[in-house]
Amino acid sequence: AAGVIQSPRHLIKEKRETATLKCYPIPRHDTVYWYQQGPGQDPQFLISFYEKMQSDKGSIPDRFSAQQFSDYHSELNMSSLELGDSALYFCASSLEGAGNSGNTIYFGEGSWLTVV
Amino acid sequence: GENVEQHPSTLSVQEGDSAVIKCTYSDSASNYFPWYKQELGKRPQLIIDIRSNVGEKKDQRIAVTLNKTAKHFSLHITETQPEDSAVYFCAAGGSQGNLIFGKGTKLSVKP
C-alpha cells in the first residue's frame, strides 16, 4: 500500500539559509500534519491542514510557513535557519483530521535536517 | 491545549516479562488514543489505538486500557521479546484532529 512520501530524506543547510520540505500524503487522505522531533525528544506538533486550509497550529516558529496544495501535497518552508532547527521532520496524513474522528494518522519516513 | 504525561521514561524488563506504560491527558474532549513504537531514526509506527467508546482493546501480546473518568490510558505488553525494544509514545487526539504526544518510554528487553 502507498505510504506518506517525504522529500528530501536528508538535507544539510547553513545557518540563515532556507529549506523546503515536501510531503505527499497517502492517496485520498485530505489531512496533513507536520511534526518536528529533536534528538531524544517526542514529536512536536507544528501545523496541520485539512482540505487545503490550515486546521490547527502548534509550536511552529514564525520563521516557518507551510501550505497544502490542490493535489493535497504539502510543503514546509523554513527560513533563517538556526542550529536548533536541526531535527527529524515528520509529515503524517489521515482522512478528515484523525484525532477525534478516529481515523488513523500515518507517518512518513521523515526528513533529516541538519543546520551547520 | 492538550497535555499528555507519560511514565516511566525508561523501562527495562527481562525477556518474557510484562511491560506497562501509563499516560494521562488533560483535555476531556480528546477521544482518540493511539500508541506508537519508534525505533532509532525511524518513523513512529502505530501499534494499537483505542477510541473513547471502548475501555479495553487487545491485539495478540499488546493491550490498551482507557479510563476516561480518570483521563488515563495504559499500554500492556506481555511476553516481551528483544525486538520489542524501542521507544513507545502515547498520544491523545486533539480537538482539531492533531495528535499530542507523551515524552516517550524507552523500553529495553533483556534476553
The percent of chain B in helix, strand and coil, each rounded to the nearest 5, is 5, 55, 40
Asked whether residue A102 carries a pLDDT value surpassing 70, the answer given is no
Q: What pLDDT score does B70 carry?
A: 93
Q: How far is A17 from chain B (nearest CA, A)?
A: 24
Q: What is the pLDDT of residues A27-52, one digit of tens each?
A: 989 999 999 999 989 999 999 999 99
CA distance A18 to chain B (A): 23
The number of C-alpha atoms within 13 Å of B105 and in the hemisphere containing its C-beta is: 27
Residue B46 pLDDT grade (very low, low, confident, very high; cuts 50, 70, 90): very high
Look at residue A99 and tell me whether its pLDDT is greater than 60. no
By CB atoms closer than 10 A (0-12, 13-18, 19+), residue B95 is middle
Distance from CA of A50 to the nearest CA of B (A): 9
Give residue B96's pLDDT.
Answer: 65
Q: What is the 3-state secondary structure (H, E, C) of B44-73?
A: CEEEEEEECCCCEEEECCEEEEEECCCCEE
In this complex, do B97 and A31 lie within 8 Å of one another by their Cβ atoms? yes
Q: How far apart are the first and last CA of chain A?
A: 36
Q: What is the mean pLDDT of chain B?
A: 93
Residue B36: partners with Cβ closer than 8 Å, 6 or more residues away: A107, B44, B45, B46, B47, B88, B89, B91, B101
The pLDDT, as a whole number, for residue B29 is 86
Determine contact: A96 vs chain B, CB below 8 A: yes
Residue of A74, A92, A76 whose CA lies nearest to A4: A92
| Option in B31, B51, B97 nearest A56 (CB) | B97
- pLDDT (mean) for A59-87: 96
* Strands A64-68 vs A53-57: parallel, antiparallel or unpaired: unpaired
Residue B27 at interface with chain A, using a CB cutoff of 8 Å: no
pLDDT of residue B31: 86
Q: What is the pLDDT of residue B98?
A: 82
Q: Regarding predicted confidence, which is higher, B94 or A99?
A: B94
Residue B91 clears pLDDT 90, i.e. is over it: yes
- Using omega within 30 degrees of 0 as the cis cutoff, is the peptide bond preceding A8 cis? yes
Q: Which of B111, B110, B106 is nearest to B11 (CA)?
A: B106
